[in-house]
Amino acid sequence: MPTQTLKPRRLLELEDPGDKLIVRTRAEAYQRKLNVATVLAAIVLGLMIAYLMAVRSHPGLWVATGVAIVLFALIVLKAYDVRQAMREDVFLLDRNENKILRNGDPIAPVSDIDHILVREVHDRGRPLDEYALVVSLNDTRRITIAEAVGLPDGKEQIEGAARRIAEFAGVPVQEGSRDAEEWWMDR
């Protein structure tokens, strides 16, 4: 029986129709992670219900019930994080009109772009396999285009998109890092 390899899912789609660059973030890259978290949450919820029913006759199961509750809460929080990463946005960079639009709303002029930033996210110095694609403006504002969280080729996708956006805007790409708790730095 032949082995089937899973094709990597695209985090970003870029289109370049003339003097415009369209960047679409794609939720499908995270669908598998959300499905796994949902199945795990359902299993743990089932165990938690079984423990709650059995605790009447076996009082020692309160510890297992407590562990199941904590585990369920952690899985739900992780699923929430994945769901947040799944939002789809469309960014339009238009050189003719000198505008950057997010989902149709103007957010900055293209001429204000200072550089494109590729951030590696870490937790107290330990890499997390998370990367952010950020447009840095002259007035120190930052626009987060996409974040790759735990994707096998997330870094390559972010770096490739950064090069294309930088080439379009005529600005350099810079690399940086930040702690996971410093999320505000890219907003």
Q: What is the pLDDT of residue 4?
A: 44
* Within a domain: 5: no
Question: Given a cut of 80, is residue 33 above it in pLDDT?
Answer: no
Q: Which amino acid is at 69?
A: I
Query: Which of 104, 103, 72 has its CA nearest to residue 87?
Result: 103
Q: Which amino acid is at 169?
A: A
Question: Given a cut of 50, is residue 1 above it in pLDDT?
Answer: no
Query: Which of 116, 166, 110, 120 has its CA nearest to residue 136?
Result: 116
Tokens of 56: 């009447």
Q: What is the pLDDT of residue 187?
A: 61
Task: Please count the other Cβ atoms lying within 10 Å of the Cβ belonging to residue 133.
Answer: 27
Q: What is the pLDDT of residue 9?
A: 62
Query: Which of 149, 111, 121, 144 has its CA nearest to residue 11?
Result: 149
Instruction: Give yes or no: residues 95 and 59 share one domain.
Output: no
| Count of structural domains, the chain | 2
Could you tell me if 118 and 158 are in contact, meaning their C-beta atoms sit under 8 angstroms apart?
yes
State the burial class of residue 50 (Cβ atoms within 10 Å of its Cβ: 0-12, 13-18, 19+): middle
* Residue 160, domain CATH: 2.30.29
* Within a domain: 1: no
Q: What is the pLDDT of residue 20?
A: 92
Question: Given a cut of 60, is residue 5 above it in pLDDT?
Answer: no
Q: What is the pLDDT of residue 55?
A: 79
Instruction: Give yes or no: residues 160 and 99 share one domain.
Output: yes
Could you tell me if 14 and 161 are in contact, meaning their C-beta atoms sit under 8 angstroms apart?
yes
Full domain range(s) for residue 167: 12-26+88-186
Tokens of 126: 């330990």
Tokens of 83: 């769901």
Segment 117-122 shows an average pLDDT of 87
Report CA Rg, the chain: 21
- Size of the chain in residues: 187
Question: Given a cut of 50, is residue 73 above it in pLDDT?
Answer: yes
Q: Sign (positive/negative) of CA torsion 34, 40, 43, 45?
A: negative
Q: What is the pLDDT of residue 86?
A: 61
What DSSP character marks residue 174? E
Segment 42-53 shows an average pLDDT of 80
Confidence of residue 84 (pLDDT cuts 50, 70, 90): low
* Within a domain: 2: no
Q: Which amino acid is at 106?
A: P
* pLDDT, the chain, mean: 81
Q: Which of 9-13, 41-45, 149-153 has the highest mean pLDDT?
A: 41-45
What Cα–Cα distance (Å) separates residue 187 from each residue in 25, 103, 141? 17, 17, 7
Segment 99-109 shows an average pLDDT of 93
Query: Which of 91, 87, 88 has its CA nearest to residue 102?
Result: 91
Question: Given a cut of 60, is residue 17 above it in pLDDT?
Answer: yes
Last residue of a domain, one of 85, 102, 124: 85
